Amino acid sequence: MSKTIIISNRLPLQLKIRDNTIETIPSVGGLATGMRSVHTHNKSVWVGWSGLTEEEFNLELKIKVTDALQKHQCIGVPLTEEDIEGFYYGFSNNTLWPLFHYFMEYTKFEKSTWETYTSVNQKFADVVLENLDDGDTVWVHDYQLLLLPDLIRKKKPGISIGFFLHIPFPSYEVFRTIPCREELLKGMLGADLLGFHTYDYERHFLSSVQRILGHEINFNNINVDNRIVKVDSFPMGIDYNKFHDAAISHNQKAKKDQTETQQEIDKHLKEGSNKAKLILSIDRLDYTKGIANRLRAFEYFLDKYPQFKGNARLVMLAVPSRANVPQYQILKNEIDQLVGSINGKFAEVSWTPIWYFYRSLPFENLIDLYTSSEVALLTPIRDGMNLVAKEYIASRVDKKGVLILSEMTGASNEMSEALIINPNNFEEIADTLKFALEMPEEEQIKRNTALQKRLQRYNVEKWANDFIEALEATRDDSEKYTLKKINEKVKQEMAVKFNTAVNKILFLDYDGTMVPFEKLPENAKPTQRVFDILDTLHQQSNTKVILITGRDRDTIQKWFGHKEYTLITEHGAWLKEKGKDWELMERVDNTWFESIAPVLESFTDRTPGSLVEEKRYSLAWHFRNVDPDLGKKRANELKTTIQHLIANHNLEILEGDKVLEIKVSGVSKGKSASKMLLEKNYDFIFAIGDDWTDEHMFKELPKDAYKVKVGLKKTVAQYYVEDIHHVYDLLTEFK
Ligand code: GDG
């Protein structure tokens, strides 16, 4: 039976060596917490780093470690201290983490850590490949393993690979600053499905792929070397019942069975004149979480609304994290100082404004905090999702409590009933805190009812199932494409048909079919290989070779005028037969140029990189070299403008690959191709082309014609080949 291989930097458990024995403890953190339930419910293995470096154990311990991991269906990736330094503390947490969270001032680019990152990703790939069987599904997690999908794909092209990014994907303007941007994107694109928490991260990623790698994107599908890579957003949920049920049993506990922490909390709450309300904050100690801002905002709140002194208390749990990275040490000092100075400033005998815990607490204490706090104040500067927000709501069994949440978290997109704040606006945070502390219970219940309903429905299991289902669907998609792909059998069948046919005709598109696109159209000249292929075809008996293109007559005359093949240009306006002059296939005029050309020129002036091509009977506006988004937007604008102008003329707009062409209607590759068929009774008809204008030809040619599309695009053709090299391969079979 096939299995799922989950891969993340850290395994869902950590190992500790005590007296030569191995202890396992669950890892803290969003990814581990979320995926753990998926792992235990499914047939899966989890590949990751155990938390112990190779230097830390001898052979005997190594066997014990492997056994301990195996019990939890885990497989360790052996990493050395040097690996961890360069890969984890270095490139992952000193480069990618700050950059992806928009902390460019903390982002360091170092060649040596990049090299370690690359080699450690390879180490992960090696362990995965050792344990991978055909039919398995691979699910790679997070920013430490951006290169892994492609490393696996290279060795096992047929395997189904998913990738999920747990942190934000930054805007192109930020992402473009990293030197190895191309390698990172190519690494990710080894996957069949790429998942992000929000649509914004997804669109930032697509924009980077389009601008940096120049891949064609169709909605959320990317065409990568003739594979379709799907990109989608899957907002991660939590194990709702786990938190909800734990909170129920917590609330039912008799006093004597409560945890020490709970008893302490209760004791403190009873002190002071009034029952103080608790405001909770829980995060890993990380600069992205906005902890310092939160403290300053809380100070501002107490200054602005002194009536809450003695009545409101911030309980702040900061879990130690990445303590080896200098930025985290600086942050720790800053927070220690802030807590000290705020407590010093406001404390009374029976009340301190902030309780600060710098440690990781066991799960039951987390529940103590979630259930005891009337308000949760979560103010990240940037956060991929933020599961704490969801866990807090799930733990509010009586539906009371108020969540204040930063709009910079992925979670804020789905949790609109929370009080959403800008973490940099202290005024807003202070006012919102007051509003939260005074919110009537009915309103709290109303908001939390809606939130809980959603969290319960879209829980982590649903999230994981949705992802896996979408991944399976990509397999079906690629099977759909494989059905159409020209394989050896089809190629041979075509070759036999060609050999046995009496009259043969071949329609060959030029740009994108016989030659690749160039930045400037005049540079896409035919190569010797192209001439050789066409000459060979032309020399076959009873074979008519037609080059059929949207190009202008003069260029084609210059490049192919000395040859004997038939030439059709400007989408079927002109025809040149062997030994004859150019003749018009359709009666067309170009008197309309003078009213349309100035419009195109004005768009060119405003759109850097675009150009107007004037053909004999058509005008084309090219935007291949324009910024992709601007190009699309301007093309749409131009279309609307032109549509008004041509309303009373016999003109039409043709949308090609990064080109809009205005021409007399009725002229098309399809119409001219049909005309050519009238000459004889052809029993081998073949057409090949890559873009939209070739679809006219595919539509008009008879059913039994062989119609072949170049590239994975929507088409009415019954076959496709991946690229120009495959076009050459196919055409050289006809001999
Ligand atoms: C990354 C992204 C994204 C925290 N303290 C303790 C403890 N926790 C648990 C919480 C929660 C998890 O850790 C923290 O998850 P977050 O989502 O808040 O944040 P990150 O660790 O930064 O996670 C984040 C996430 O991945 C998932 O995709 O949401 O944006 O940065 O589950 O409960 N658990 C225990 N003791 C603690 O002291 N037991």
SS3 readout for 484-518: HECCHHHHHHHHHHHHHCCCEEEEECCECCCECCC
DSSP secondary-structure letter at 452?
A: H
Phi/psi for 243 (5° steps) reads -75, -45
361 lines ligand 1 (CB under 6 A): yes
Residue 603 CA, ligand 1 centroid: distance in Å? 50
Number of H helices, E strands in the chain: 26, 29
pLDDT in tens, 369-419: 999 999 999 999 999 999 999 999 999 999 999 999 999 999 999 999 999
Cα 694 from chain centroid? 31
Residue nearest to atom 36 of ligand 1 (CA): 361
- The residues with which 663 forms a beta bridge, in sequence order, are 618, 652
Residue nearest to atom 25 of ligand 1 (CA): 30
**DSSP string spanning 624-644?**
TTS-HHHHHHHHHHHHHHHHH
Atom of ligand 1 nearest to the CA of 389: 18
Closest CA to 390 of 408, 407, 405: 405
pTM above 0.85, yes or no: no
pLDDT at residue 327, as a whole number: 83
* 142-151, 273-282, 339-348: segment of lowest average pLDDT: 273-282
Does the pLDDT value for residue 219 go beyond 90?
no
Mean pLDDT of 10-25: 84
Residue nearest to atom 34 of ligand 1 (CA): 28
CA distance 170 to 345: 39
Q: What stretches of 271-385 show up as alpha helix (H) in DSSP?
A: 291-304, 326-346, 363-372
Atom of ligand 1 nearest to the CA of 168: 30
Mean pLDDT of 108-133: 97
Phi/psi for 415 (5° steps) reads -110, 60
Q: Which two tokens stand for residue 565?
A: 């093949």
* Cβ neighbourhood burial of 512 (10 Å; 0-12, 13-18, 19+): buried
Neighbour-count burial for 223-245, b at 16+ CB within 10 Å, e otherwise: ebeebbbbbbbbbbbbbbebbbe
Which helix (H) or strand (E) is 426 found in, with range?
Answer: helix 426-437
Closest CA to 368 of 247, 473, 248, 511: 247
Confidence of residue 666 (pLDDT cuts 50, 70, 90): confident
- The percentage of residues in the chain with a pLDDT greater than 90, rounded to a whole number, is 68
357 lines ligand 1 (CB under 6 A): no
Residue to probe by mutation, ligand 1, list 10, 280, 284, most atoms within 8 Å of CB: 284
414 lines ligand 1 (CB under 6 A): no
- The residues with which 231 forms a beta bridge, in sequence order, are 194
Mean pLDDT of 29-58: 80
Q: Biggest alpha carbon distance in the chain?
A: 106
CA distances from 595 to 638, 662, 699 (A): 14, 12, 32
394 lines ligand 1 (CB under 6 A): no
Neighbour-count burial for 87-122, b at 16+ CB within 10 Å, e otherwise: bbbbbbbbbbbbbbbbbeebbeeeeebbebbbebbe
pLDDT at residue 588, as a whole number: 76
CA distance 35 to 6: 9
Does the pLDDT value for residue 19 go beyond 90?
no
Does the pLDDT value for residue 320 go beyond 70?
yes
pLDDT at residue 386, as a whole number: 95
Residues in the chain: 735
Mean pLDDT of 543-552: 95
Handedness of CA 408, 409, 413, 417 (dihedral sign): negative
Residue 378 CA, ligand 1 centroid: distance in Å? 12
Confidence of residue 28 (pLDDT cuts 50, 70, 90): low
Contact between 371 and 398 (Cβ < 8 Å): no
Query: 304: Cβ–Cβ under 8 A, 6 or more apart, which residues?
Result: 430
Atom of ligand 1 nearest to the CA of 289: 22
Residue type, 528: Q
pLDDT at residue 481, as a whole number: 67
DSSP secondary-structure letter at 161?
A: E
Mean pLDDT of 594-622: 90
Atom of ligand 1 nearest to the CA of 362: 39
Mean predicted lDDT score pLDDT of the chain: 91
Residue 8 CA, ligand 1 centroid: distance in Å? 15
Residue with the two structure tokens 């309103």: 443
Closest CA to 387 of 234, 235, 162, 195: 235
* 261-275, 564-578, 640-654: segment of lowest average pLDDT: 261-275
Q: Which two tokens stand for residue 477?
A: 């998609």
Query: 225: Cβ–Cβ under 8 A, 6 or more apart, which residues?
Result: 722
Residue 34 CA, ligand 1 centroid: distance in Å? 9
CA distance 113 to 490: 49
- Please provide the distance, in angstroms rounded to a whole number, between the alpha carbons at the two ends of the chain: 47
386 lines ligand 1 (CB under 6 A): yes
Contact between 566 and 547 (Cβ < 8 Å): yes
408 lines ligand 1 (CB under 6 A): no
pLDDT in tens, 426-455: 999 999 999 999 999 999 999 999 999 999
Does the pLDDT value for residue 521 go beyond 90?
no
Residue type, 624: R
185 lines ligand 1 (CB under 6 A): no
Closest CA to 473 of 38, 162, 146: 162
Q: Which residues are catalytic?
A: 509
More confident residue, 656 or 417: 417
